[in-house]
Structure 1
Amino acid sequence: MAYPHDAIVFDPRDIDLSRSPLAGKVDAETYVLGAFNPGLTRLPNGNLLMMVRVAEALRQPIRDAHIHAIRWDDGRYVLDAWPLTLVDTSDPRKFMMRGGGWRVMALTSLSWLLPVELDADGRRVVAVHCDRAIVPREPYQCYGVEDARISRIDGRYYMTTCSVSPERHSTTLYSSDDALDWTLHGIVLDHQNKDMLLFEGKVDGAFWAQTRPLGDLYFAYPPDSPWRAGPSINLATSPDALHWKPHDRPGIRPHAATTATARMGGGAPPVLAEVDGQRGWLTLWHGVEPSGVVGIYRTYWTLLDEHDPSRTIATSHAPLLEPAPELTAPLADLMYLDDVVFTTGVVDGGAHWIVASGEADLACRITHVPKEALTAGA
């Protein structure tokens, strides 16, 4: 589907690495592997803020028969080295350790978050706030801070991020009065719980969130079930946004009738909206079709009941957004991945939704989706 505005607004070429938090602190040349997966919110001044994930990688990670990676260690950045004979480097974003009784990986980059201010409609960059970058501060963030999602609740901004370390693959929470100066509150969800999205508003006085626990084992649905076993979008509630109880009823699950959403996870924080005359929580999420190394990522939408978000009241089985190779064609020399659009934010733009996505794990894409484009059953 063609939209009235659909463009790359920020990419690795827009980052001045001399102002990176790693500048002068790593004894090797680095480059920006990707500037992508931006959290999105509206600032008090009316402009938009993207919290961009910057994946900063070593220019030459392989040397002397070893592969190297960056790690934060108590305020400094160090390089670790593993013999090439011990790793699998088929995925450019990570390398897997061979052997052992379970999967162990390391990253080819270290991620930090860069606040990028856009104009009110998300068409152009107004400012890049390098002095407000979010960087590792605790041991549970030693391999980086990834994939911010921002929600404004009762006048305060809340930001979830994925923190990566050998200790755990956890969700951490920040809060702010202005979306520029953030306070870290620590871990709120433990090991391998990705894509935590806080609803932009409370339900009966409680915070609600979508979560996505990961694991290597799932139990089968009955043969005639409409659902497919595997990663799904779950729900949790909290009195204070810090202490979370998983909701007893499931959230959004993969359909057995298609492989296009065989894997799924949360995208943009749910917002109150009206679709086809029905009011509820609009959630944009990603479905992954198995293909190649990482699969094909697309964005879908679902409308959840305003008072019981475990109940779906409308959805579309056709994707809202698909990967757009024409948008990344000017970045062909920087591409290392394709077939990925990963939506991470949505803001009301009046007659349209302003949707922020990571495109090809490389750049930030802003799409204006007319509200009438969301039609149930499409």
Structure 2
Amino acid sequence: MTQHAFPHAEFPLGPFTAHEGNPILRPQGDTWESASVYNPAAVVKDDRVVLLYRAHADDIISHVGLATSEDGIHFERHPEPVLSPTEDYEKFGAEDPRVVEIDGTYYLTYTGWDRTSAQLCLATSTDLYTWTKHGPMFPDFNTFLPVGNGSDAPWSKAGAILPVPINGRYLMYFGEGSIWYAWSDDLIHWTPCSNDEPIMVPTPPGTFGSFLVEVGPQPIITNNGLILLLHNAAVKNEDGTVRYTCGQLLFSPDDPTTILAQMNRPWLEPQTYEDTHGLVSNVTFVEGLVFFRDTWFAYYGQSDSTLGVATYKVGDTYDHGAFGG
């Protein structure tokens, strides 16, 4: 059995409140982050929040940028990307990072995009600025099964590593379309479950995950020993547009591949102008989660264009008035 990492995390985590000053990061300049800044990973280092965020110009070739903050809200950006496309499998984008720190090493999962396949890739670093790439993790996987995405090409995204080992092994949840899992002894080489056995598939018609479900930021061990996973979910409208919101799942460390509970309504959804207008409109897409100074910070992309944050201060409660109390 593992020891919990956060003594004040219960299911469902929250309530989260979107920051009134969102977006906290916008596109800037006329080069690599001039068109969109969104979908950030987050980690705490040296008592600062560090964001590793996706950004691109009008060419939509994504890079990963870095920004730091002393309060989790106001960020100072590093002038150049810290991770950029260099290999054929990512020549049209290094996208959508997630990050964890384990024993002094940072493990970054991201999507390599070649305009045919999206492939979940891994990179490691000891300083967050210089990264060693380890290539695609699951080159034979299609995370859109069992529904399918109309392509025979490999497809995998959204890798979220639990930073605490379970019985000596590390666990990763991954997947866009459906949600899957993989195990590792060394955090570099990962063995996925069968492509026939997803943990979670799209939810029933009329619910907020009926088009797809996708892993969000890294899962956490809660105060009662259970694993909490935040995920993204989407519905497709009749006109072909989509709407992305965010849910939560609960697992047991003794059986981390079986869902014990799940939210049946979103804890974060498009509301503001930036949430509802952008490159892909009506999207709140969470990829970063940190516990910092007694507050949970959830960082998310707004309509694939800007970057927002929602916070939950430990001790806050849901409005009882909303439930007639």
Task: Tell me, yes or no, whether TM beats 0.5.
Answer: yes
Distance change (3 Å), C-alpha of 1:348 and 1:337: same
Q: Does 1:200 align with 2:201?
A: no
TM-score normalised by length of structure 2: 0.79
Q: Which amino acid aligns with 1:184?
A: K
Q: Secondary structure at the match of 1:151?
A: strand
Which residue matches 1:3? 17
Which residue matches 2:50? 49
Distance change (3 Å), C-alpha of 1:290 and 1:313: same
Q: Secondary structure at the match of 1:255?
A: coil
Match of residue 317, structure 1, among 261, 264, 285? 264
Whether the 8 Å contact between 1:8 and 1:328 is mirrored in structure 2 is no
Q: Secondary structure at the match of 2:73?
A: coil
Distance change (3 Å), C-alpha of 1:261 and 1:168: closer
Match runs of 1:126-137 below 5 Å: 127-137=76-86
Which residue matches 1:33? 35
Q: Secondary structure at the match of 1:312?
A: coil
Distance change (3 Å), C-alpha of 1:259 and 1:317: closer
Q: Secondary structure at the match of 1:10?
A: coil
**Structure 2 portions without partners, runs of 5+:** 1-14, 140-153
Whether the 8 Å contact between 2:220 and 2:228 is mirrored in structure 1 is yes
- The structural deviation recorded for 1:10 is 0.2
Match runs of 1:203-282 below 5 Å: 203-212=166-175, 231-247=177-193, 250-256=198-204, 258-262=206-210, 263-274=212-223, 278-282=224-228
Q: Which amino acid aligns with 1:284?
A: L
Deviations 1:187-211 (A, max 9, x none): 2122211112112222111121112
More contact order relative to length (CA 8 Å, sep ≥ 6): 2
- The structural deviation recorded for 1:327 is 5.1
User: 1 CA distance for matches of 2:246 and 2:156?
Assistant: 20
Q: Secondary structure at the match of 2:17?
A: coil
Aligned length: 286
Q: Does 1:341 align with 2:304?
A: no
Deviations 1:167-225 (A, max 9, x none): 74211111111222222122212221111211222211112111216xxxxxxxxxxxx
Which residue matches 1:178? 127
Distance change (3 Å), C-alpha of 1:243 and 1:35: same
Q: Does 1:118 align with 2:133?
A: no
Deviations 1:77-109 (A, max 9, x none): xxxxxxxxxxxxxxxxxxxxxxxxxxxxxxxx2
Match of residue 300, structure 1, among 240, 247, 253? 247
Distance change (3 Å), C-alpha of 1:167 and 1:360: closer
User: 2 CA distance for matches of 1:371 and 1:303?
Assistant: 19
Match of residue 304, structure 2, among 338, 361, 372? 361
Whether the 8 Å contact between 2:66 and 2:77 is mirrored in structure 1 is yes
Match of residue 290, structure 1, among 236, 240, 249? 236
Which residue matches 1:105? none
Whether the 8 Å contact between 2:63 and 2:81 is mirrored in structure 1 is no
**Structure 1 portions without partners, runs of 5+:** 21-30, 59-108, 214-230
TM-score normalised by length of structure 1: 0.69
Seq. identity, %? 22
Q: Secondary structure at the match of 1:268?
A: coil
User: 2 CA distance for matches of 1:207 and 1:2?
Assistant: 28
User: 1 CA distance for matches of 2:313 and 2:206?
Assistant: 27
User: 2 CA distance for matches of 1:352 and 1:320?
Assistant: 16
- The structural deviation recorded for 1:132 is 4.8
Q: Supply the RMSD in Å over aligned alpha carbons.
A: 2.6
Whichever structure has more helix as a proportion of its residues is 1
- The structural deviation recorded for 1:313 is 3.0
Which residue matches 2:7? none
User: 1 CA distance for matches of 2:36 and 2:262?
Assistant: 31
Whether the 8 Å contact between 1:260 and 1:290 is mirrored in structure 2 is no
Q: Does 1:161 align with 2:99?
A: no
